[in-house]
C-alpha cells in the first residue's frame, strides 16, 4: 500500500444538507485569518542554514548558494569567494543514494524497450511480446499464447506486482542483445474486480482488473528467455516444486535483471507469506536456478527489496540483511560466498552513500545517533574493519561527499534545532561552518519550536516517540483540542529529526501530534515483528498510549481529541475512534482499508498471514467488529475509481455502522482514485466536531 497522492479535490456529499452560511463557516472563522497569514510570517522569519552544495570533480573546490549569492570555497586555501552571477553555475542536488530501486516510476507497465545496441526494439502488443527494428520495421511476434480471453499476460506485470513489488517492467534485454527475458502470468484463477467509471456522465462504464484479495488465488508467475538467433524459448525453473504451491519459493518472482556479464538472469523469489527470500541466479540456456543469498524471518516478514549494489568487478556486491536483528551490510560474490561482514551493529544501517574502491572503503548512513531518528555518516573498510562514525550523534545529518571521499558537506539539525552547514574532513573534523540558521524572526512572531517526547507503548515496556506542535499564541493556561495525524502502517514512520516549523493547522487553535508505534521502521526486526498478524490492534493501541501520555498535560483538553489520515492512515483513524472511544472524539478517514480481507494478497499477507490461518487476527483488525462502539463523530471519504483501496472498504464499514444504528458522514469523490478528502473539508469537520464552532 503506497499512497501519498494528494491534490485539489471536488467532492460529492451524500446525505448531508447545509446552508450557504454553514458551507463558508470555516473561511469566516476568526482563526482562519491566522491560519492563512501567520505560517507565512513565521516562514519569512526563518532563514535556513541548509546549503545545497556541489563539489568539483577533483574535490578541491566547493560551490554553494547562500541567499541570492553563489560562493566558491577552496579546500587548499580555506578561502570563500563570491562568484559573479555570469560565472556561476547553479549547484546540483545531492547524488542519488546507492542501492535505490531500478526501473520507471510507479504506474503502468513499460510497453517497449530499445536493445542495448539501439538496433532493435521489444514491445508489447495484444498481450504478447514482439520484436522489430528500432525504427519499427519488420515486426514479428516472439510469443503467441498471450490472450485476454485465456487471461494470459506476457511481458507485463499485473496490478498487484506493480503496486506492491514495484515491478513495472515485464521484459529485459541481455547486455549482448542476443536474448530477451520476459514474464508470463496466468491470471485465470484470479477473480476480477469491477469499478464504475465516468460515474457523473450520462452513460457510465466499467473498469475491470484481476485483483487477488487476501487468502485468494494469485497470478501464476513464470520467467522465460528467448534467444533471438536460435529462436528457442527456455523456461526458467523459478520454483523448486513443479506446482504453484503457497510454500514454494518462487511463488512471487520480481526485481528481475541480467547479471552484469549477461551470463545469468538474476531475480528475487519468495514464498507466499514472504517470510523467506532468495536472491537467485538462473542459467538462461538450461533454466536451472541456484540460490546466491537466502534470508528468513519466521516470526514476521523479510525485506522485499534488500539493498544490493555491485562493485566494479561486477562479481562482488554489497547486500543488506536483517539477519542479526538489525539491517547491516555484507559483502558477497555471485557464487554465494560471504566475503566479509561489513557492519555488525545493534542499530540499523539506512543507506549507502559512496563505495570508494580506490581507497578500499565504504561510506553509509546509520541510525546511530542518540535516538533512532538521527542519521549518522559512517566509514568502514571493505574488509569490515575500522568502522567509524564521522558525525555528531546529537544531531541528524544530511551529507554531500566529495568525489574522492576526502571531505563532506554536513547539514546538522534536529527537530527543534535549525540546520547548520559545515565542511568536515574524512576523519570527522569540522574545518569550517559555511552557514547557520537564523530563527530570530520566527521567535519574535511567537513561533513555537516542535517538541519531541517519549512515552511507553501499550505493552508498558517499549519506548516510543511522539511529536507535538503548538500555535504561535500558545497559552499554557488554556485547554486546547488535539489533532493527531496518522499513517502508522508497518515499516513506516511518522517522525524524523529534520527541523520543521509547526503545522499551519495549529493556528486554528489546535495542538497537532504524531506518534510512532510498534511495527515501524528503523528500530530492528524484533520491533517490527511485534505487529505481525496484528494489524489494527498493536499500532492502534500504541496511538492510544500516546494520547494518554499527552492527556497528562494541563493544556490539553481530553474531551476534544481528533485523528485523521489517508489510506493506512484512514484505517488507523477509524480504528482509533472505534477501539478507543474514551480517548478519541472525532475521526476523518480517507480512502481507508476497513477489513484486510478487502485488500490485496501481497501487502496484506506479508503482515497478516492469510485469513484462513489467522481468522482471529483478521476479525480483530476489522473496523466492522467495533461498529457498535462508535460514540464520536466520524467522516468517511472514498473515491469511486479507487483501484487500490476499493470503495467496498468504506461501504462495508458503512453497512456495519447502519446496522448498529450509528450516525456518521460519508463523502464520495466521483471518478476519483486513491485520495484525500481535502484540507478545507477536513478542517471544517473538526471545527464542528472538536470546537463546536
Give all domains of the chain, ordered by start, each with its CATH number: 12-43+443-590+628-643+659-691 (3.40.50.1820), 53-92 (no CATH), 112-306 (2.140.10.30)
Low-confidence ranges of the chain (pLDDT < 50): 3-21, 91, 93-94, 101-107
Q: Which of 564, 603, 627 is nearest to 1 (CA)?
A: 603
Measured between alpha carbons, how far is 65 from 51 in angstroms, rounded to an integer? 7
Distance (Å) of CA 194 to CA 187, 190, 211, 641: 16, 13, 9, 10
What strand order describes the sheet that includes 376-381?
Answer: 349-356, 361-366, 376-381, 388-389
Q: Which DSSP helix (H) or strand (E) runs through 620?
A: helix 615-620
Measured between alpha carbons, how far is 676 from 5 in angstroms, rounded to an integer? 8
> By the 8 A CB rule, do 111 and 121 touch?
no
Measured between alpha carbons, how far is 614 from 276 in angstroms, rounded to an integer? 19
pLDDT at 27 (0 to 100): 87
Measured between alpha carbons, how far is 466 from 544 in angstroms, rounded to an integer? 12
The total of other beta-carbon atoms located within 10 Å of residue 426's CB is 19
The three cell numbers locating residue 245: 504451491
Residue 417 has phi, psi (to 5 degrees) of -120, 115
Task: Give the up-direction half-sphere exposure of residue 179: CA atoms within 13 A in the CB hemisphere.
Answer: 24
> By the 8 A CB rule, do 277 and 294 touch?
yes
What's the first-to-final CA gap in the chain, in angstroms? 36
pLDDT at 104 (0 to 100): 45
Q: Which of 225, 287, 220 is nearest to 250 (CA)?
A: 220
Measured between alpha carbons, how far is 261 from 334 in angstroms, rounded to an integer? 11
Query: pTM to 2 decimals?
Result: 0.93
Pairing mode of beta strands 140-141, 120-125: unpaired
- Tell me how long the chain is: 693
pLDDT at 6 (0 to 100): 34
pLDDT at 29 (0 to 100): 84
Q: In this predicted model, what pLDDT tens digit does every residue of 149-208 receive, in sequence order? A: 999 999 999 999 999 999 999 999 999 999 999 999 999 999 999 999 999 999 999 999
> By the 8 A CB rule, do 665 and 635 touch?
yes
Distance of CA 386 to the CA centre of its chain: 32
Q: Which of 212, 522, 129 is nearest to 345 (CA)?
A: 522
The total of other beta-carbon atoms located within 10 Å of residue 177's CB is 15
Measured between alpha carbons, how far is 462 from 470 in angstroms, rounded to an integer? 26
Measured between alpha carbons, how far is 390 from 406 in angstroms, rounded to an integer? 12
Any bridge partners for residue 423, and if so which?
A: 409, 432
pLDDT at 28 (0 to 100): 85
Amino acid at each position: 500500500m503506497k499512497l501519498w497522492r494528494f491534490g485539489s479535490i471536488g467532492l460529492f456529499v451524500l446525505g448531508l444538507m447545509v446552508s450557504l452560511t454553514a458551507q463558508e463557516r470555516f473561511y469566516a472563522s476568526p482563526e482562519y485569518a491566522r491560519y492563512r497569514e501567520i505560517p507565512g510570517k513565521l516562514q519569512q522569519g526563518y532563514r535556513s542554514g541548509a546549503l545545497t552544495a556541489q563539489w568539483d570533480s577533483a574535490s578541491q573546490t566547493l560551490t554553494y548558494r547562500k541567499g541570492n549569492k553563489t560562493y566558491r570555497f577552496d579546500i587548499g586555501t580555506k578561502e570563500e569567494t563570491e562568484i559573479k552571477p555570469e560565472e556561476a553555475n547553479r549547484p546540483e542536488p545531492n547524488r542519488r543514494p546507492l542501492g535505490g530501486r531500478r526501473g520507471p516510476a510507479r504506474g503502468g507497465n513499460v510497453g517497449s524497450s530499445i536493445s542495448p545496441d539501439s538496433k532493435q526494439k521489444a514491445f508489447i502488443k495484444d498481450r504478447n511480446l514482439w520484436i522489430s527494428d528500432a525504427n519499427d520495421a519488420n515486426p514479428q511476434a516472439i510469443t503467441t499464447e498471450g490472450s485476454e480471453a485465456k487471461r494470459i499476460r506476457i511481458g507485463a506485470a499485473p496490478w498487484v506486482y506493480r503496486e506492491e513489488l514495484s515491478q513495472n517492467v515485464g521484459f529485459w534485454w541481455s547486455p549482448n542483445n542476443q536474448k530477451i527475458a520476459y514474464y508470463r502470468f496466468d491470471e485465470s484463477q484470479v477473480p476480477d474486480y469491477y469499478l464504475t467509471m465516468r460515474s457523473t456522465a450520462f452513460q457510465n462504464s466499467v473498469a475491470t482488473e484481476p485483483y487477488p484479495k487476501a487468502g485468494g488465488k494469485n497470478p501464476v508467475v513464470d520467467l522465460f528467455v528467448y534467444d533471438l538467433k536460435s529462436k528457442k524459448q527456455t523456461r526458467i525453473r523459478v520454483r523448486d516444486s513443479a506446482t504453484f504451491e503457497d510454500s514454494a519459493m518462487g511463488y512471487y518472482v520480481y526485481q528481475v535483471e541480467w547479471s552484469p556479464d549477461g551470463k545469468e538472469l538474476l531475480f528475487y523469489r519468495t514464498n507466499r507469506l514472504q517470510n523467506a527470500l532468495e536472491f537467485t541466479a538462473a542459467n538462461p540456456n538450461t533454466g536451472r536456478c541456484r540460490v546466491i543469498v537466502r534470508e528468513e524471518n519466521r516470526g514476521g516478514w523479510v525485506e522485499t527489496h534488500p539493498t544490493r549494489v555491485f562493485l566494479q568487478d561486477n562479481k562482488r556486491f554489497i547486500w543488506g540483511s536483517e539477519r542479526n536483528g538489525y539491517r547491516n551490510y555484507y559483502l558477497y560474490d555471485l557464487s554465494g560466498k560471504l566475503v566479509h561482514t561489513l557492519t555488525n551493529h545493534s542499530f540499523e544501517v539506512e543507506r549507502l552513500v559512496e563505495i570508494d574502491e580506490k581507497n578500499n572503503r565504504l561510506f553509509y548512513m546509520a541510525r546511530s545517533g542518540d535516538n533512532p531518528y538521527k542519521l549518522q555518516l559512517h566509514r568502514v573498510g571493505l574488509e569490515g574493519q575500522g568502522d567509524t562514525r564521522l558525525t555528531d550523534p546529537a544531531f541528524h545529518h544530511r551529507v554531500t561527499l566529495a568525489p574522492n571521499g576526502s571531505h563532506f558537506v554536513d547539514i546538522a539539525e534536529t527537530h527543534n534545532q535549525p540546520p547548520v552547514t559545515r565542511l568536515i574532513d574524512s576523519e570527522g573534523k569540522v574545518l569550517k561552518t559555511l552557514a547557520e540558521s537564523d530563527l530570530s524572526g520566527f521567535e519574535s512572531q511567537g513561533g513555537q519550536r516542535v517538541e519531541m517526547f517519549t512515552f511507553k507503548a501499550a505493552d508498558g515496556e517499549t519506548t516510543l516517540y511522539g511529536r507535538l506542535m503548538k500555535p504561535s499564541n500558545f497559552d499554557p493556561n488554556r485547554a486546547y483540542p488535539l489533532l493527531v495525524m496518522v499513517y502508522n502502517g508497518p515499516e513506516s514512520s511518522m517522525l524524523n529529526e529534520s527541523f520543521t516549523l509547526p503545522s499551519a493547522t495549529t493556528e486554528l487553535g489546535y495542538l497537532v501530534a504524531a506518534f510512532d508505534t510498534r511495527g515501524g521502521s528503523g528500530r530492528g526486526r524484533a520491533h517490527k515483528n511485534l505487529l505481525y498478524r496484528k494489524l489494527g490492534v498493536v499500532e492502534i493501541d500504541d496511538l492510544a498510549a500516546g494520547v494518554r501520555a499527552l492527556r497528562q498535560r494541563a493544556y490539553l483538553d481530553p474531551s476534544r481529541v481528533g485523528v485523521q489520515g489517508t489510506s493506512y492512515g484512514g484505517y488507523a483513524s477509524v480504528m482509533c475512534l472505534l477501539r478507543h472511544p474514551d480517548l478519541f472524539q472525532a475521526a476523518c478517514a480517507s480512502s481507508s482499508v476497513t477489513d484486510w480481507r478487502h485488500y490485496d494478497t501481497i501487502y496484506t499477507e506479508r503482515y497478516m498471514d492469510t485469513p484462513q490461518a489467522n481468522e482471529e487476527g483478521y476479525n480483530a483488525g476489522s473496523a466492522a467488529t467495533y461498529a457498535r462502539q462508535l460514540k464520536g463523530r466520524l467522516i468517511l471519504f472514498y473515491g469511486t475509481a479507487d483501484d487500490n483501496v476499493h470503495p467496498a472498504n468504506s461501504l462495508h464499514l458503512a453497512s456495519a455502522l447502519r446496522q448498529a444504528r450509528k450516525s456518521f458522514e460519508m463523502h464520495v469523490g466521483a471518478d476519483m482514485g486513491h485520495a484525500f478528502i481535502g484540507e478545507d473539508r477536513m478542517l471544517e469537520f473538526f471545527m464542528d466536531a472538536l470546537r463546536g464552532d
